[in-house]
A and B are shown apart, each in its own frame.
Chain A
């Protein structure tokens, strides 16, 4: 069986599921952030696959923008984590519950 669009979509979906699992299960803020990156990359893979199999290069442009925005997001998010660490001396989400009732 030739490798088609479905194969790429299955890989993308499984990668997204792995990222989701990481966000739900892990307790370290940095690792949660890396799982977010995994999910973004799964979406990128789906977009590139659709772009290739539908003969539409707009998908690749969109992935380009997603990568740029993700880079900006990582920079701001990591700065927030560093600021949070200065205040609370922890990276475990269980210790950051000041909003909890």
Chain B
């Protein structure tokens, strides 16, 4: 097994383990630990992006997700000042239904993947690079780029209005 393949298995396992700990941590039910494990999931995903030669996206993943978004999450958790909440019982029926639905999803997904016409050894060809991505982003996708900037402005104004004390 070559080195990148081994790294793929390491990062994939880390991503899934940390992802599981986000939603079901056996030691603590606190949102802060979930947020911390979400950071680790994002960082492992950035490792997978590097293996896929998407270096710029890996950097953005660490900066935006593991950095900005998670700080926002932790900030809100601190702001809400949650009391040590009583460990509520998860409803058995809800958990059972959730597991059934999700295993149905996994079954369908794997079945369709097995029957798909993907050639088994499709050789990776794209050599990603920040230069190519930048050219694409500022030439072909210049208009969506500008629209996204407007979207960010709208989100900022919306958040300021939403967090006013009296909505008038």
B residues bordering A, Cβ < 8 Å?
Answer: 2, 4-5, 8-9, 12, 15-16, 19-20, 22-24, 29, 31, 34-35, 38, 41-42, 45, 48-49, 52-54, 56-57, 60-61, 64-65, 68-69, 72-73, 76-77, 79-80, 82, 85, 88, 90, 94-95, 97-99, 101-102, 105-106, 109-110, 113, 118, 120-122, 124-126, 128, 132-133, 136-137, 141, 144, 148, 151-152, 154-156, 158-159, 162-163
A24→B155 CA distance, assembly (Å)? 27
CB neighbours (8 Å) of A19 from chain B are 19, 23
A79→B31 CA distance, assembly (Å)? 17
A residues bordering B, Cβ < 8 Å?
Answer: 2-11, 13-22, 24-28, 30-31, 33-35, 37-38, 41, 44-45, 48-49, 51-58, 60-61, 63-65, 67-76, 78-83, 85, 91-92, 94
Question: Out of B52, B60, B61, which one reaches A8, CB within 8 Å?
Answer: B52
